[in-house]
């Protein structure tokens, strides 16, 4: 049973017990309802409800959201708790989120453990609180705090919850403290539903809406939550509860909630494959190269308690690397992620040197040096010579052939790719690239490191760009085709921002530097299909020194190193290149721009799936969301494609293929899914 009831004198102890985090499913709702009747039948003078294990309750069981609501409904259960003549006390031992927090809010009193958290994160699953959270929270902690809690979904720690008036006390042992509460005092506490709703505060509503426009563009649920709270001020409790419930149910069956649930469960499913051995122990990591990426990787490792030996080529390199890591430590101090003593501990665990011998105690080495095969091979030869035979060797390459890197080492089975994303200590994605000879131990090490660093690991095969950069390259290529055909960079960027990206491809290009793409294109010159369309606009930009932000001029201008401004000269440059290429440019409607970019990415992603470079469509979703800014509320590229409709996608691709069969050859995976009426998410390789 997921609810256990024990009587001790006049106290009833109710334990929520549905491992691992006490998600509230039908059985728990039923159990709670029966617990109300049980306590009343025994005429108890209190019920103390707490959670078994590490959580109080993680909220409604989101796995039930795909089906119709099942009785008893949570609002009715909580209504029964709140109106029972036996007062309930929530002893919040761990996280109380969503429906879990709503159980607590419906209790007469709340006592919280110091390490517990309380929050209403429903918007992160595309819904709003559906069991009184909007109404009870604003009655308990006031409008402003409740709006922040619900519209942005960020949980509160115990101290903040106490200060906000959401809980009555913070105690080391909340169950014991609940048992000690004086009965008279307990009966004097007014049930939440009887408290008056706060006064209307127009400024608070305007502020939250303004904030939402900046922080959660495109998302529906936060706005609906704010609407429900605003309307609730003018309704009685029961009417407001009915409005909240109807809104919750409407959102639960909507596209955004489906997409966000898909992301939630895909993220949690991203773990080491079951048949891999346990991850080897890691205490020390060697990182080669102290540039932006290497320093970020070193800092990420230091932050989770690892020792790091950061290897550079010479004294100048050591000085640069020291500066780069120190900059991250100072930023950590400024943001409150570190204090003086933790910063000192971090520094003490770091050695920066040009002596590879100093890294001999490392169980893993991550090379993050310049992106050139010769450089990588030289480094791997040095690592091979200096480190023990069982040290795992990883390269952080974004594009290069890992098999070629591995071939030069004594034991290619211990070589893999660990593709971090900049800034490496912040971005959650880690592509774990499996070469032809990568062994299980090396893979287990990659997944083990991802777990330590709290990254989302995605297994990828070897190809130019692996999963993410290969899709991104196609996106960039199509964007340049659009420029040649009639679009301008700021239009393309605006269209993709309206779709949900924080930045369009040209602003991203300016940020990373146009020289990066240029170097890649030169590397690909030898293997590029001569029949494939090629647009030289970006090459010309580089030749003219327009490298992006670093030169204050790229696709945009950045006067004085500040914000971007449109540069009309770019339009002339594009028109000139189109003239040289004999292309007649014509205005391209926004929906065509959006469609071509999305179709290009979807088709490439389907090929990546078909070639086994990605193991599932969900993995591609994780890569596009966590590494490339695809809007999470659209569920990642492949989930989005399924929602759009594979049949329609293939029809549109066929029209483009008729115009350019090289660029737009329809992916066999898409064709197969369309013919079989199958979703990409359900596609599996045969055999
Ligand atoms: N429903 C279903 N399963 C859930 C769940 C939920 N609400 N919350 C967590 N789980 C599952 C996870 O999928 C995972 O399953 P797995 O072991 O099979 O992969 C397992 O519980 C453990 O979860 P985590 O790996 O995330 O464990 P952590 O300790 O890292 O985090 C947590 C625990 C902070 C509770 C985190 O899981 C979390 O944030 N959960 C979601 C909280 C949430 O959004 N609640 C609102 C739900 S909607 C709602 O309540 C509507 C209501 O208003 C009516």
* Confidence at residue 231, expressed as pLDDT on a 0 to 100 scale: 97
- For 167-193, how does the pLDDT look when each residue is reduced to its tens digit (9 = 90+)? 999 999 999 999 999 999 999 999 999
Mean pLDDT computed over 599-604: 98
Mean pLDDT computed over 122-132: 98
Q: Whose CA is nearest to atom 41 of ligand 1?
A: 58
Mean pLDDT computed over 33-47: 98
Q: Which helix (H) or strand (E) holds 76?
A: helix 74-83
Instruction: Give residue 371's domain range.
Output: 284-460
262, part of any domain: no
Q: Provide the β-strand partners of residue 156.
A: 118
Mean pLDDT computed over 253-269: 97
- Which residues, including other chains, have CB under 8 Å from residue 12's CB and lie 6 or more apart? 5, 6, 35, 38, 39, 42, 44, 46, 47, 48, 86
Mean pLDDT computed over 149-153: 98
- Output the domain CATH number for residue 150: 3.90.226.10
Instruction: Decide whether any atom of ligand 1 lies within 6 Å of the 105 Cβ.
Output: no
- For 624-635, how does the pLDDT look when each residue is reduced to its tens digit (9 = 90+)? 999 999 999 999
Residue 262 tokens read as 């898909």
- Domain check: are 490 and 391 in the same one? no
Instruction: Decide whether any atom of ligand 1 lies within 6 Å of the 454 Cβ.
Output: no
Q: What are residue 55's phi and psi, to 5 degrees? A: -115, 155
Domain stop point among 403, 426, 460:
460
CA of 25 to the centre of ligand 1 (A): 12
Mean pLDDT over all residues of the chain?
A: 96
% the chain with pLDDT above 90: 96
* Confidence at residue 684, expressed as pLDDT on a 0 to 100 scale: 87
* Confidence at residue 619, expressed as pLDDT on a 0 to 100 scale: 97
Instruction: Decide whether any atom of ligand 1 lies within 6 Å of the 308 Cβ.
Output: no
What ipTM did this prediction achieve? 0.99
Mean pLDDT computed over 608-617: 96
Q: Please give the full DSSP string across 4-51, using - where no structure is assigned.
A: EEEEETTEEEEEE--TTTT-B-HHHHHHHHHHHHHHHHTT-SEEEEEE
Instruction: Decide whether any atom of ligand 1 lies within 6 Å of the 58 Cβ.
Output: yes
331, part of any domain: yes
Q: Can you give 518-568 as a three-state secondary structure string? A: HHHHHHHCCCCCCCCCCCCHHHHHHHCCCCEHHHCECCEECHHHCCCEECH
424, part of any domain: yes
- For 94-110, how does the pLDDT look when each residue is reduced to its tens digit (9 = 90+)? 999 999 999 999 999 99
CA of 59 to the centre of ligand 1 (A): 7
Rg of the chain (C-alpha set): 28
**Inter-residue contact 78 to 131 (CB < 8 Å):** yes
Q: How far apart are CA 11 and CA 39, in angstroms?
A: 9
Q: How many CA atoms lie within 13 A of 560 on its CB side?
A: 2
- Domain check: are 337 and 223 in the same one? no
- Domain check: are 242 and 363 in the same one? no
- For 205-251, how does the pLDDT look when each residue is reduced to its tens digit (9 = 90+)? 999 999 999 998 899 999 999 999 999 999 999 999 999 999 999 99
Instruction: Decide whether any atom of ligand 1 lies within 6 Å of the 504 Cβ.
Output: no
- Domain check: are 370 and 482 in the same one? no
- For 503-558, how does the pLDDT look when each residue is reduced to its tens digit (9 = 90+)? 999 999 999 899 989 998 998 899 999 999 999 999 999 999 999 999 999 999 99
- Domain check: are 559 and 624 in the same one? yes
84: DSSP letter: -
- Domain check: are 455 and 533 in the same one? no
311, part of any domain: yes
263, part of any domain: no
Domain stop point among 436, 460, 484:
460
Domain stop point among 440, 460, 480:
460
pLDDT range class, residue 398, cuts 50, 70, 90? confident
- Domain check: are 570 and 509 in the same one? yes
Q: Cα angle vertex 417, ends 416, 419, to 5°? A: 160
Which ligand 1 atom is nearest residue 58's CA?
35
On the question of pLDDT at 131 being above 90, the answer is yes
On the question of pLDDT at 1 being above 90, the answer is no
* Confidence at residue 149, expressed as pLDDT on a 0 to 100 scale: 98
Mapped onto helix, strand or coil, the DSSP state of residue 52 is: coil
Q: Whose CA is nearest to atom 35 of ligand 1?
A: 58
Q: Whose CA is nearest to atom 37 of ligand 1?
A: 58
Instruction: Decide whether any atom of ligand 1 lies within 6 Å of the 384 Cβ.
Output: no
**Inter-residue contact 60 to 102 (CB < 8 Å):** no
- Domain check: are 508 and 418 in the same one? no
500, part of any domain: yes
Total of domains in the chain: 3
653, part of any domain: yes
On the question of pLDDT at 12 being above 90, the answer is yes
Residue 536 tokens read as 């030289």
- Domain check: are 443 and 475 in the same one? no
Instruction: Decide whether any atom of ligand 1 lies within 6 Å of the 23 Cβ.
Output: yes
484-507 burial code (b ≥16 CB/10 A, e <16): bbbbbbbbbbebbeebbbeebbbb
Q: Cα angle vertex 502, ends 497, 505, to 5°? A: 70
Q: Whose CA is nearest to atom 20 of ligand 1?
A: 20
On the question of pLDDT at 91 being above 70, the answer is yes
pLDDT range class, residue 586, cuts 50, 70, 90? very high
* Confidence at residue 687, expressed as pLDDT on a 0 to 100 scale: 64
Q: Whose CA is nearest to atom 19 of ligand 1?
A: 268
- For 486-501, how does the pLDDT look when each residue is reduced to its tens digit (9 = 90+)? 999 999 999 999 999 9
- Domain check: are 344 and 207 in the same one? no
Catalytic residues: 102, 122
- Which residue of 18, 56, 58, 451 sits with most ligand 1 atoms within 8 Å of its CB, as the best mutation to test the pocket? 58
Instruction: Decide whether any atom of ligand 1 lies within 6 Å of the 174 Cβ.
Output: no
CA of 126 to the centre of ligand 1 (A): 14
More confident call, 138 vs 1: 138
- Output the domain CATH number for residue 652: 1.10.1040.50
Lowest mean pLDDT among 43-47, 205-209, 303-307, 372-376: 372-376
614: DSSP letter: B
274, part of any domain: no
Q: Nearest-CA neighbor of 146 among 89, 76, 230, 86?
A: 230
Mean pLDDT computed over 58-69: 95
- Domain check: are 514 and 597 in the same one? yes
CA of 23 to the centre of ligand 1 (A): 7
- Domain check: are 291 and 314 in the same one? yes
- Output the domain CATH number for residue 346: 3.40.50.720
């Amino acid at each position: 049973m997921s609810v256990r009831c024990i009587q001790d004198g006049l106290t009833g102890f109710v334990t929520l017990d549905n491992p691992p985090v006490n998600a509230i499913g039908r059985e728990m709702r039923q159990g709670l309802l029966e617990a109300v009747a049980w306590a009343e039948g025994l005429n108890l003078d209190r019920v103390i409800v707490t959670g078994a294990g590490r959580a109080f309750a993680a909220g409604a069981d989101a796995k039930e959201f795909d089906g119709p609501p099942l009785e008893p409904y949570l609002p009715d259960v909580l209504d029964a708790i709140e109106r029972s003549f036996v007062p309930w006390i929530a002893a919040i031992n761990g996280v109380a989120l969503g429906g879990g927090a709503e159980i607590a809010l419906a209790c007469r009193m709340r006592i919280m453990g110091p390490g517990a958290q309380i929050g209403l994160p429903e918007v992160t699953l595309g819904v709003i609180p559906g069991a009184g959270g909007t109404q009870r929270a604003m009655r308990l902690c006031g409008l402003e705090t409740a709006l922040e809690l619900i519209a942005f979904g960020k949980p509160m720690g115990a101290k903040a919850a106490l200060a906000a008036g959401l809980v009555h006390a913070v105690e080391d042992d909340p169950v014991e403290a609940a048992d000690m509460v004086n009965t008279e005092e307990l009966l004097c506490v007014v049930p939440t539903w009887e408290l008056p709703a706060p006064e209307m505060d127009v400024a608070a509503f305007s502020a939250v809406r303004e904030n939402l426009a900046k922080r959660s563009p495109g998302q529906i649920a936060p706005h609906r939550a704010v609407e429900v709270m605003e309307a609730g001020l003018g309704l009685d409790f029961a009417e407001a509860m009915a409005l909240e419930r109807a809104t919750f149910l409407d959102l639960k069956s909507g596209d955004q909630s489906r997409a966000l649930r898909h992301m939630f469960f895909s993220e949690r499913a991203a773990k080491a494959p079951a048949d891999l051995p346990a991850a080897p122990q890691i205490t020390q990591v060697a990182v080669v190269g102290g540039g932006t990426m290497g320093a970020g990787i070193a800092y990420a490792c230091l932050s989770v308690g690892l020792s790091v030996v950061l290897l550079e080529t010479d004294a100048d390199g050591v000085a640069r690397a020291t500066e780069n890591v120190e900059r991250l430590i100072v930023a950590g101090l400024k943001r409150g992620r570190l204090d003086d003593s933790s910063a000192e501990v971090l520094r003490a665990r770091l050695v920066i040197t040009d002596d590879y011998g100093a890294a001999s105690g490392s169980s893993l080495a991550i090379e993050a040096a310049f992106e050139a095969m010769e450089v990588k091979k030289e480094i791997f030869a040095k690592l091979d010579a200096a480190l023990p035979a069982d040290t795992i060797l990883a390269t952080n390459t974004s594009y290069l052939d890992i098999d070629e890197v591995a071939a030069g080492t004594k034991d290619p089975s211990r070589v893999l790719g660990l593709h971090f994303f900049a800034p490496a200590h912040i971005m959650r994605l880690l592509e774990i690239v499996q070469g032809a000879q990568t062994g299980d131990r090396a893979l287990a090490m990659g997944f083990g490191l991802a777990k330590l660093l709290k990254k989302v690991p995605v297994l990828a095969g070897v190809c130019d760009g692996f999963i993410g950069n290969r899709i991104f390259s196609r996106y960039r290529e199509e964007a340049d085709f659009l420029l040649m055909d009639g679009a301008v960079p700021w239009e393309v960027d605006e269209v993709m921002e309206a779709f949900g990206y924080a930045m369009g491809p040209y602003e991203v290009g300016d940020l990373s530097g146009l020289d990066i793409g240029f170097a890649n294109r030169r590397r690909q010159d030898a293997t590029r299909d001569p029949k494939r369309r090629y647009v030289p606009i970006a090459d010309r930009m580089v030749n003219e020194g327009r490298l992006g932000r670093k030169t204050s001029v790229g696709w945009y201008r950045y006067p004085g190193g500040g914000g971007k401004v449109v540069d009309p000269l770019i339009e002339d440059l594009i028109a000139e290149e189109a003239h040289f290429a004999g292309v007649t440019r014509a205005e391209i409607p926004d929906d065509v721009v959006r469609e071509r970019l999305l179709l290009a990415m979807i088709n490439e992603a389907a090929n990546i799936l078909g070639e086994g470079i990605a193991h599932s469509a969900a993995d591609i979703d994780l890569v596009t969301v966590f590494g490339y800014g695809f809007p999470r509320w659209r569920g990642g590229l492949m989930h989005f494609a399924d929602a759009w409709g594979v049949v329609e996608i293939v029809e549109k691709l066929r029209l483009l293929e008729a115009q350019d069969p090289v660029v737009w050859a329809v992916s066999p995976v898409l064709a197969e899914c369309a013919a079989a009426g199958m979703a990409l998410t359900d596609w599996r390789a045969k055999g």
